[in-house]
Structure 1
């Protein structure tokens, strides 16, 4: 029975960790007014008949805090990349000089900053919901094991461990959200 309890706890920890990873990825896409190559992670470009991520057909760099530079490996890709960036609806206006595509990142207005903070808090809440769902599933599995012959003491100890995991991962979500909020609100 001890192995089953360990499996339930490991599964719970894994699912909560996945919620944190997902939150980190989502927070990368929320821009804080600073240029970052990660802003273009979701952009797909048509390349020889198939869709390829932008970073697989070009070099993406940030020469300064307000500019993203994209240097395609083939000059013929410049208009295709510009279309893909516009189609991704990220709010960017690409500008090219025939060699490099530049994207100027505008400074965020106070209203836009507040809107982004709301978005960050929403992502944090989504992560917490995932964590609570993992906790509920783990506790349900422990109750099932209790019916199958697990001792009540072991079940209570395991539930306590699940709650500790929930608290720790919840605190991690709060820390990530607070850090991103400070990042966005810093001018």
Structure 2
């Protein structure tokens, strides 16, 4: 084993992708409005892309409504556009520097849309895990090429990386199945 290949670091990075997925799933609310619903929204402001919470305050004045108070009047249109294009199915109403977002009733079609968004988030997490796997295997191949590790160790470590990848993908699939069940529950 060398200092350059670290299976624990690979597992930590894969868990990071899973933690990100679970955070994004937290934004997919099924009943009540929640400020975290807008966490994945990014706004183009001042020539760069910023998270919504860096240009506005999100609050929940009523159980089925969100209020977004934009700090800079010049960004109201950009925030409105970002929320509409975030694939969350939300239609803000602009009232001065505040955007009001009434949460749509969850009919069958809306539930299916939320499930599609959940599937998209899960696929992004799977891709992130595969990138970590590729990075780990690339390090192993480089070490083998540089004769820093024997071929047997390279194959053994490659198997460990693949096992960690399979476990992470299984965890992602389980989280997706649970979220899908929660969304489709009437």
Considering the TM-score relative to the shorter chain, is it more than 0.5?
Answer: yes
Aligned residue runs from structure 1 range 92-131, under 5 A = 92-94=91-93, 96=95, 102-131=100-129
State the superposition RMSD in angstroms: 3.6
Structure 2 CA distance, aligned partners of 1:183 and 1:66?
A: 18
Quick check: which has more Rg, 1 or 2? 1
Asked if 1 retains the 8 angstrom alpha-carbon contact of 2:31 and 2:106, the reply is yes
Asked if 1 retains the 8 angstrom alpha-carbon contact of 2:18 and 2:168, the reply is yes
* 1:102 Cα deviation after fit: 3.6
Q: Could you tell me the TM-score, scaled by structure 2's length?
A: 0.70
Name the one with the larger helix percent: 1
Structure 2 CA distance, aligned partners of 1:22 and 1:12?
A: 16
Helix, strand or coil at the partner of 1:68: strand
For structure 2, the residue ranges without an aligned partner over 5 or more in a row are none
Asked if 2 retains the 8 angstrom alpha-carbon contact of 1:45 and 1:54, the reply is no
Report how many residues are paired.
179
Asked if 2 retains the 8 angstrom alpha-carbon contact of 1:43 and 1:84, the reply is no
Asked if 2 retains the 8 angstrom alpha-carbon contact of 1:139 and 1:159, the reply is yes
The reply to whether residue 55 of structure 1 matches residue 53 of structure 2 is yes
Q: 1:146 to 1:174 in 2, by over 3 A?
A: same
For structure 1, the residue ranges without an aligned partner over 5 or more in a row are none
Residue in 2 aligned with 1:86? 80
